[in-house]
Amino acid sequence: MAKKAIIIGSGVAGIASAIRLALKGYDVEVYEANSYPGGKLSEIEIGGYRFDAGPSLFTLPEQVEELFSLAGKSPKEHFDYLRLPVACHYFWEDGKNLKAFSDLDKFAEEVEKKLGEPSSHIKNALEKSSFIYEHLSPLFMHRSLHELKTWTNPEALKSYLKMGKLGIFSTMNEANEKQFDSPKLVQLFNRYATYNGSNPYETPATLNIIPHLEFNIGAFFPKKGMHDITLSLYKLSKELGVRYHFDQKVEEIVVEKEKAVGVKIGDKKINGDLVINNMDMVNAYKTILKKQRQPKLLLNQPKSSSALIFYWGIQRNFPELDLHNIFFSDNYLEEFDHIFKKGSIYHDPTVYINITSVYKPDDAPKDSMNWFTMINVPNNKGQDWDQMIAEAKRNIIHKLNRILKTDVEPLIEVEEILDPRKIEMKTSSAQGALYGNSSNNKFSAFLRHANYSSKIKNLYFCGGSVHPGGGIPLCLLSAKIMSEMIPDSD
């Protein structure tokens, strides 16, 4: 008889874990507090506009494809995507703009033409990013940091000899100031710290690994939108026999004799041979594991930044805008000081606009666009968010009006808002932090929860709150690392 695995939460890591365990022969049941799968990777439909609600950048598509291949299916028949010709379109207040072409020669040429930065500097920076990826991804992305064999394998030993070149001893900003002349290019590459909710002026330069994913490997777009990652994997898991229970909030992980034996929902106990937690680790210990010993060092770590998102249906086409667009602040350092030190929103925030209707026209009515308009904000510490949101909206609109030379507000046909309070409520992310604990020190990689419990047998963890981190690829890798620790069902 197959062993039973209970998964708490149907975020993308929870769904991926369900697929992997079903393929290992487990009887898998997923319990989800929301009425839909996907967690942050969901969608919103309002007034004829469709928005991908959460993550908007897609890299390392092979992590999705692998799940179909493991199930013996052709990935392209179930999930299709394209490689973006332009990763992002950047704008500054002084009228400068820059297209980050996926063709590296073309991008380097654009940088030299628009910013006066020698093309060799871009190529050298991306070679360094590739070098960091080559030496650190096998260690930090594909293995548990909490097992001795990770640190004693040949790849790890090879990396130890390169530590001085991997950016561990300097900040991202320090490294970028050394490799670029243009302050605008420094700012552009500092932006990658926000991909895991960090501060480029504090986080180690090892995070310069991220441009390798976007430029050297590529940025992609699922042809049916980002939500199709959730839907296609959800469908695959159900075909493998995984059962989902929506609107079912787990109230406790049942532990007996230091072993996870099931979960409680209301006054009902559901037995299982192992339990996988895909809920934010901090909130899990405060709620469903509150009777267990608390990992106080991990729980007390500073949290990552959060987001304020305006989902705007815009009654006009802007041909100068692409799928990904960034409108930079004139004072990046001050912006991050507000986010991480002052707990507030800077009056001149960097604005990100994701417009899927550029590649998927049916996401908006004719001659209109769906603007997922986001700024990075502090996590929730009880601020007056209603006042902060109103002020931020005014500042965002004024900034876009200046740069795009338009009047945005009359064009907004529909609007929905997502702030740190709602993020915490909808996704159980502690303080609405998008990536769990922050990565603002060189030891942050070691201050994430392991993919298993060292105190409670048969209890495992996956997703953005644990190793190796947040974002779609890392959540999928978290599920992979975890599932490899679990033996096949007898």
Burial degree of 286 (CB within 10 A; 0-12, 13-18, 19+): middle
CA dihedral 188, 192, 195, 196 (to 10 degrees): -140
Tell me the backbone φ, ψ of residue 224, rounded to 5 degrees: -100, 10
For residues 476 and 64, the answer to whether their CB atoms sit within 8 Å is yes
pLDDT at 358 over 90: yes
pLDDT at 145 over 70: no
For residues 292 and 285, the answer to whether their CB atoms sit within 8 Å is yes
Q: CA–CA separation, 404 vs 31, rounded Å? A: 45
pLDDT number for residue 202: 93
Identify the residue whose tokens are 């009902």.
268
Helix (H) or strand (E) holding 399: helix 385-404
Q: pTM here?
A: 0.93
The closest of 30, 15, 29 to 67, measured between CA atoms, is 15
pLDDT number for residue 155: 63
- pLDDT tens digits along 27-38: 999 999 999 999
Q: Which residues contact 448 (CB under 8 A, 6 or more apart)?
A: 145, 298, 436, 437, 465, 466, 467, 468, 469
pLDDT at 270 over 60: yes
Write down the H helix ranges in 241-358: 281-286, 296-299, 332-337
| Confidence at 134, pLDDT banded by 50, 70, 90 | confident
For residues 316 and 368, the answer to whether their CB atoms sit within 8 Å is yes
| Confidence at 221, pLDDT banded by 50, 70, 90 | very high
Q: Residue 361 CB: number of other CB atoms within 10 A?
A: 12
In this prediction, residues 357-381 reach a mean pLDDT of: 98
pLDDT at 161 over 70: no
pLDDT number for residue 436: 77
In this prediction, residues 268-290 reach a mean pLDDT of: 94
In this prediction, residues 308-318 reach a mean pLDDT of: 98
Q: CA–CA separation, 356 vs 53, rounded Å? A: 11
In this prediction, residues 89-104 reach a mean pLDDT of: 97
Least confident of 53-67, 235-249, 432-446: 432-446
pLDDT at 378 over 70: yes
| Confidence at 288, pLDDT banded by 50, 70, 90 | very high
pLDDT number for residue 61: 96
Give the chain's length.
490
| Confidence at 235, pLDDT banded by 50, 70, 90 | very high
pLDDT number for residue 298: 80
In this prediction, residues 335-343 reach a mean pLDDT of: 97
pLDDT number for residue 438: 73
pLDDT number for residue 133: 86
Mean per-residue pLDDT of the chain:
91
pLDDT at 439 over 80: no
Least confident of 174-188, 220-234, 258-272, 423-437: 423-437
